[in-house]
A and B are shown apart, each in its own frame.
Chain A
Amino acid sequence: MLKILKYSFYDLLRSKWTLIYFLFFLMITQGLLYITGDEAKTIVGLLNVVVILCPLIATVFGTVNFYNSREFTELLLAQPLKRRDIFIGQYLGMTLSLSIGYFLGVLIPFVIHSFTYSVDYTVLSILLFVGVFLTFIFSALSFLISLITDNKIKGFGLSILTWLLLALVYDGMQLFILSMLDNYPLEKISLVMTFLNPIDLSRVLLMLKLDISALLGYTGAVFNKFFGSSFGFALSLSALLIWTVVPVYFINRISMKKDF
């Protein structure tokens, strides 16, 4: 697997996509730092960019890359390799190169900033890791969708639809459900809904650090336990880990059975 990972990684690290991803975050971060002159404001500004655009770019890139490398995949399939190594290796190579692009794109401006100002590294590192997680999760989801869908256009459409659903429509639905049922205890429903969406989970992880004083203003017992201790943070983080592992498990399973 490491061999495939290595070559996939080299290949993509040099592709213009990784470069675009890197430059995009570099410019956004540097731009925000320049305009606001304040690292905390920059992080708040980056929050929605990261939570929305990391998944989008990972989705688009994952799909395009999968279909583009189909013939190469076939070449590898004819080699003495386990299927798992081929697919997981390619997936990891891709997602690692993207993650590095993102990671450095955001980190470098902050490091430069830290020469003259102080930087709060806890929130920054959560932001960095959340972006990496989202890159992993959404490239896995798009990889999975591409694996199931042989038709390029259909696969691309499905991937974008998945992103749109999780990034925007889902929260709208959640707000709608909560406001329709406001005579019922809703804490558990809303927590469960949050855990079913990796974008929401990432947002909650950042929210727990940025807005804790507001969150503690809520009166329900379940939320209080969730927000009020490191319990909520740990739980969200583990859920995000599960989100990372499950699509990879299915990539493995489906690639085992598929004809090429």
Chain B
Amino acid sequence: MLADTHIVCSDCHIGKVSNAVDMSERGDTIIIKSGVYTESLIEIDKPLTIIGENFPKIVAKGGEKIFHIIGDSVTITGLEFMEVKRSFIEDRAAINIQGGNYISIINNRFTNTFFGIYIAKSTGTKIIDNRLISNNKKEMNSANAIHAWSSKKLLIKNNYVEGHRDGLYFEFCDNSIIKNNHSYRNLRYGLHFMFSDNNKYKNNIFEENGAGVAVMYSHHIEMYKNQFLNNWGQSSYGLLLKEIKDSKIHYNLFKGNTKGIYGESAIRINIVHNDFVQNGWAMQMMGSSEQDTISHNNFIRNTFNVSTNQNAKNYNVYEKNYWSDYTGYDLDKDGIGDVPHRPVKFFSQVLGYTPEAIILLRSFFIELLNFIENIVPVLTPENLKDLQPLVKQIDNDTISKHI
């Protein structure tokens, strides 16, 4: 059986995408010429390749979902999807993958679609080079750009997502790779990750999202070389870790976030070779976080480096980090400060009880108290200290070049 090619355009013999899909056999190719097609509820139950020329616009008729994919091995590329309206009853998406495996969604545009790409019960699906832009104002009325649920072995790569509720959403998805994506100005999380194990995300940029990135209830996650930038706000995090176990956070940049990393019940996490620059709090590690290793990181000009709700005991290891506010010395010139560094300040503990006192930040009086606390710890855990603080900044860029 030979594969056919069907051409769709407004003056062609086939004027509608849905007609082309209906008349195609398994393995056929559909080429859509540039133009505007107002269509929706197109179901695909067989392997097909759909190619758009010069980004033909598919406008959702009645604001309904556009493609509904239940078959395997479907490729969609070069289309622009528009105006999928919000619904409170169903999860409407421009491309809705329900159980189809090995789907490729490559180089498409999504403009003001409610959900952009919705993936459910799919294995081996690739979402690459797509741009999804919405201009939502309210979290309640908006949905996620790329939403994946109960899937495996996904590859989400090189996508740009902006103005949705969550930029990237993963729930019960395992063994997937998320890389080189840029998630910008989404109303809630740039990346929202739950109950998803053994995943890697690498080289992504999460920037100015309402609440930053949340990774929760998962284990064996690898997060390498991502950038968490300018996630500002009352409950905004560069990276929120909650109930996370056995994961690696390496070579990331946390810059200008209200809280760089916030950890709650984060267990056996390896936080190594990251740069924390000009965050409000570089790390906030709650007492339930244990057996974590924090080493070879640069902490540079953060208002607070580490804070915790614990004031007695610390169960994590802080060693060989560079702290830009380290005031000790290195007489034997081995690159390691001769005096331990205590990254938790008295004042950051005070703020735990009296948040309004933030107005006294950098006051001479407060600096005096910090100094005294440093000598005689009362409010800060006595054993939370870096015994081998580095005196020189680590060049993490060079170190991570080949990773």
Question: What mask results when residues 157 to 170 of chain A are scored 1 for a CB within 8 Å of chain B, else 0?
Answer: 00000000001100
Residues of chain A within 8 A (CB-CB) of B304 are 214
Q: A41's contact among B301, B360, B364, by CB below 8 Å, is which?
A: B301
Please, could you name 9 A-B residue pairs with CB atoms under 8 Å apart, sorted by A? A179-B353, A194-B359, A203-B362, A207-B362, A211-B280, A211-B361, A217-B234, A217-B281, A223-B358
Q: Are A216 and B233 in contact (CB under 8 A)?
A: yes
Which of chain B's residues 351-368 have a Cβ closer than 8 Å to chain A? 353-368
The count of residues in chain A whose C-beta lies closer than 8 Å to any C-beta of chain B is 39
Residues of chain A within 8 A (CB-CB) of B234 are 216-219, 224
Q: Are B356 and A178 in contact (CB under 8 A)?
A: yes
Q: A182's contact among B230, B236, B280, B353, by CB below 8 Å, is which?
A: B353
Could you tell me the distance in whole angstroms from the C-beta of A163 to the nearest C-beta in chain B? 12
- Measured in the bound complex, the distance between the Cα atoms of B358 and A218 in whole Å is 8
Number of residue pairs across A and B with beta carbons under 8 Å? 110
- Measured in the bound complex, the distance between the Cα atoms of B256 and A210 in whole Å is 11
Q: Are B356 and A51 in contact (CB under 8 A)?
A: no
Is A132 in contact with chain B by the CB < 8 A criterion?
no
Q: Are A168 and B358 in contact (CB under 8 A)?
A: no
Q: Are A223 and B356 in contact (CB under 8 A)?
A: yes
A188 nearest in chain B by CB position: B356
Q: Are B303 and A214 in contact (CB under 8 A)?
A: yes
Q: Are A186 and B356 in contact (CB under 8 A)?
A: yes
Decide if the interface of chain B is mainly helix, strand, loop or mixed: loop
Residues of chain B within 8 A (CB-CB) of A194 are 359
Could you tell me the distance in whole angstroms from the C-beta of B139 to the nearest C-beta in chain A? 17
Which of chain A's residues 179-221 have a Cβ closer than 8 Å to chain B? 179, 182, 186-187, 190-191, 194, 200, 203-204, 206-207, 210-220
Is A40 in contact with chain B by the CB < 8 A criterion?
yes
Which of chain B's residues 139-194 have a Cβ closer than 8 Å to chain A? none
- Measured in the bound complex, the distance between the Cα atoms of B234 and A122 in whole Å is 25
Which of B256, B356, B366 has the most C-beta atoms of chain A within 10 angstroms of its own C-beta? B356
A167 nearest in chain B by CB position: B364
Is B278 in contact with chain A by the CB < 8 A criterion?
yes
Contacts A171-B360, A182-B354, A219-B355 given; indicate if A214 touches B280 (C-beta within 8 A).
yes
- Besides the contacts A182-B353, A217-B234, what 16 more A-B pairs have beta carbons closer than 8 Å? A51-B364, A168-B365, A171-B365, A174-B359, A179-B350, A200-B359, A200-B360, A210-B362, A211-B361, A213-B230, A216-B234, A216-B258, A217-B233, A217-B236, A218-B358, A219-B234
Could you tell me the distance in whole angstroms from the C-beta of B43 to the nearest C-beta in chain A? 47
Is B252 in contact with chain A by the CB < 8 A criterion?
no
Q: Are A220 and B281 in contact (CB under 8 A)?
A: no
Is A175 in contact with chain B by the CB < 8 A criterion?
yes
Q: Are B355 and A218 in contact (CB under 8 A)?
A: yes
Could you tell me the distance in whole angstroms from the C-beta of B264 to the nearest C-beta in chain A? 16
Is B245 in contact with chain A by the CB < 8 A criterion?
no
Residues of chain A within 8 A (CB-CB) of B259 are 217
Residues of chain B within 8 A (CB-CB) of A31 are none
Is A47 in contact with chain B by the CB < 8 A criterion?
yes
Is B288 in contact with chain A by the CB < 8 A criterion?
no
Residues of chain B within 8 A (CB-CB) of A174 are 359-360
Residues of chain B within 8 A (CB-CB) of A40 are 301
Q: Are B280 and A215 in contact (CB under 8 A)?
A: yes
Q: Are A213 and B279 in contact (CB under 8 A)?
A: yes
- Measured in the bound complex, the distance between the Cα atoms of B357 and A168 in whole Å is 15
Is B232 in contact with chain A by the CB < 8 A criterion?
yes
Residues of chain A within 8 A (CB-CB) of B309 are none
B258 nearest in chain A by CB position: A217
Residues of chain A within 8 A (CB-CB) of B358 are 214-215, 218, 223
Contacts A211-B280, A214-B304, A216-B258 given; indicate if A190 touches B356 (C-beta within 8 A).
yes
Which of A175, A204, A207, A214 has the most C-beta atoms of chain B within 10 angstroms of its own C-beta? A214
Residues of chain B within 8 A (CB-CB) of A190 are 356-357, 359-360
- Measured in the bound complex, the distance between the Cα atoms of B362 and A157 in whole Å is 27
Q: Are B301 and A175 in contact (CB under 8 A)?
A: no
